[in-house]
Amino acid sequence: MNFDYNEEQQLLADSVRRFMQKDYAFEARRKIVDSAEGHSEKVWGTFAEMGLTGIPFSPDYGGFGGGAVDLMSVMEAFGEGLVVEPYLATLLGARCVARAGSDAQKKAILPQVVEGKLKMAFAFSEKGARYDLAHVAAAAKKSGGGWTLEGEKVVVLGAPSAAKIVASAKSPAGLSLFLVDTKAVKMKPYRTLDEMRAADVMLSGSAAELLGAEGKALPVIEAVVDFATALVCAEAVGAMKFACDTTLEYLKTRKQFGVPIGTFQALQHRMVDMVVAYEQAKSMACLACSKVDGVADARERAHAVSAAKIKIADNARLISQEAIQLHGGMGMSEELKVSHSFRRLTMIAQQFGDADHHLERFASA
């Protein structure tokens, strides 16, 4: 399997990394995180100008018709830069529309997403679900010519800044997807451990629009979440790369007993273990992204994605913890970016299913 980017993907990766280095340095990111919104509209506009918001959508709606493999370089760069903008959340909501929506819904929503004018979120998780996508207590009932929703969704990433939310709920025919305006819901917004913005969303008689066929949502939800899982695997690779690079640089410059601590063989061995874990994670992320793009069989896709997430979760823990330990006590300080990488890698290990969940799913697939 070829793990190298083609020319277009490499050019995209280079342009995103240049932007990260120039306009999204760590201090600039800290100001964005501390702002009331928790993200930058200027940065979001730049993402749209660079075409990042249109990569995975059809040219019929202004996109570029790409897939997870084309997004890998973007997500890796975002992982290195620890981007907090609701990019993945918007892609997930819009991907639900792209896969399940009617032509009218696609024409109304996808061009706005591609142009960067509309942010979205995907509300699929509930209390007690433990990563079970079919565990949904939220209920939908017909009301006049539309639908109303009752229930609660938790940890909806990107919800505070979203204009529209795609929510899963049980209708009389089974599990279905609905398009909800955020003005029709109540939210409890908060900042997550890794400095993203999320919210618990209360659906209390919220007016909604059916998205796709009633009772046929589970395969769509599974495909979209697998797509997201592959992308956070790629994001983790970027965060791992930064953790490895900055730790290696620290070992070269930090001196003890008059010599750089990188000359100590025990620390060299630990550094090698980190780099090997990074290379393994990169290979598995490539596999996951290729499978969500090119495999029609849901079981084969699930098998590959779960295998990748297991390895990513394990290696994210190893690399993030080793980076902190090799930096010593200062590794946990707010002033060092490596401590923020540790938080993000810790959250990625849990996001869309932890290692135990994916081990069980891998075995059943």
Residues 194 and 241 in one domain: no
Let me know if residue 281 belongs to a domain. yes
Confidence band (pLDDT; 50, 70, 90) for 341?
very high
- Which alpha helices (DSSP H) does the chain contain, by range? 7-23, 26-34, 41-49, 68-81, 87-100, 103-114, 218-253, 265-294, 298-327, 337-350, 355-364
- pLDDT surpasses 90 at 127: yes
- In the listed set 68, 87, 114, which residue is the last one of a domain according to the structure? 114
Instruction: Please report the pLDDT score of residue 51 as a whole number.
Output: 93
Find the range with the poorest average confidence among 6-10, 41-45, 328-332.
6-10
Confidence band (pLDDT; 50, 70, 90) for 5?
confident
- In the listed set 213, 244, 272, which residue is the last one of a domain according to the structure? 213
* Stretch 331-360: mean pLDDT: 94
Residues 356 and 230 in one domain: yes
Exposed e or buried b per residue across 310-326, where buried means at least 16 C-beta atoms within 10 angstroms of its C-beta? bbbbebbbbbbbbbbeb
Phi, psi of 151 (to 5 degrees): 145, -170
* Stretch 171-195: mean pLDDT: 95
Residues 197 and 243 in one domain: no
Tokens of residue 273, six digits: 């273990």
| pLDDT, averaged across the chain | 93
Tokens of residue 22, six digits: 């120039």
User: Count of domains in the chain?
Assistant: 3
What CATH code is carried by the domain that includes residue 31? 1.10.540.10
Q: Name the helix (H) or strand (E) containing 177.
A: strand 174-181
* Stretch 284-294: mean pLDDT: 90
Confidence band (pLDDT; 50, 70, 90) for 1?
low
Residues 127 and 80 in one domain: no
- In the listed set 179, 213, 247, which residue is the last one of a domain according to the structure? 213
Residues 102 and 141 in one domain: no
Q: What percent of the chain has pLDDT over 70?
A: 98
Q: Which residue from 273, 267, 278, 258 is spatially nearest to 328, judged by alpha carbons?
A: 267
For residue 189, what are the domain limits? 120-213
Q: Which residue from 355, 38, 16, 10 is spatially nearest to 192, judged by alpha carbons?
A: 38
Residues 86 and 156 in one domain: no
Confidence band (pLDDT; 50, 70, 90) for 345?
very high
What CATH code is carried by the domain that includes residue 183? 2.40.110.10
Residues 102 and 18 in one domain: yes
What CATH code is carried by the domain that includes residue 233? 1.20.140.10
Query: What tens digit of pLDDT does each residue of 28-69 get?
Result: 999 999 999 999 999 999 999 999 999 999 999 999 999 999
Residues 87 and 127 in one domain: no
Query: What tens digit of pLDDT does each residue of 240-285 get?
Result: 999 999 999 999 998 888 888 888 899 999 999 999 999 999 999 9
Residues 313 and 327 in one domain: yes
Instruction: Please report the pLDDT score of residue 12 as a whole number.
Output: 86
| Residue 247 identity | T
Let me know if residue 293 belongs to a domain. yes
Q: Name the helix (H) or strand (E) containing 64.
A: none
d(CA 157, CA 160): 8
Alpha carbon distances (Å) from 2 to 146, 173, 226, 236, 282: 48, 44, 22, 20, 12
Residues 239 and 359 in one domain: yes
d(CA 284, CA 99): 25
Tokens of residue 234, six digits: 């790629």
- pLDDT surpasses 70 at 295: no
Residues 262 and 295 in one domain: yes
Q: How far is CA 17 from the centre of its chain?
A: 18
Confidence band (pLDDT; 50, 70, 90) for 11?
confident
Let me know if residue 1 belongs to a domain. no
Let me know if residue 2 belongs to a domain. no
Residue matched to tokens 């570029």: 64
* Stretch 208-230: mean pLDDT: 95
Confidence band (pLDDT; 50, 70, 90) for 145?
confident
Let me know if residue 89 belongs to a domain. yes
Let me know if residue 279 belongs to a domain. yes
d(CA 323, CA 239): 11
d(CA 45, CA 190): 23
- pLDDT surpasses 90 at 302: yes
Find the range with the poorest average confidence among 114-118, 231-235, 334-338.
334-338
Instruction: Give residues with Cβ within 8 angstroms of 44, minimum separation 6.
Output: 85, 116, 119
Q: Which residue from 158, 166, 269, 272 is spatially nearest to 217, judged by alpha carbons?
A: 166
255 C-beta neighbours (distance < 10 Å), count: 11
Phi, psi of 199 (to 5 degrees): -155, 150
Asked whether the beta carbons of 64 and 7 are under 8 A apart, the reply is: no
- pLDDT surpasses 80 at 365: no
Residues 341 and 237 in one domain: yes
Asked whether the beta carbons of 56 and 70 are under 8 A apart, the reply is: yes
Confidence band (pLDDT; 50, 70, 90) for 136?
very high
Instruction: Please report the pLDDT score of residue 328 as a whole number.
Output: 87
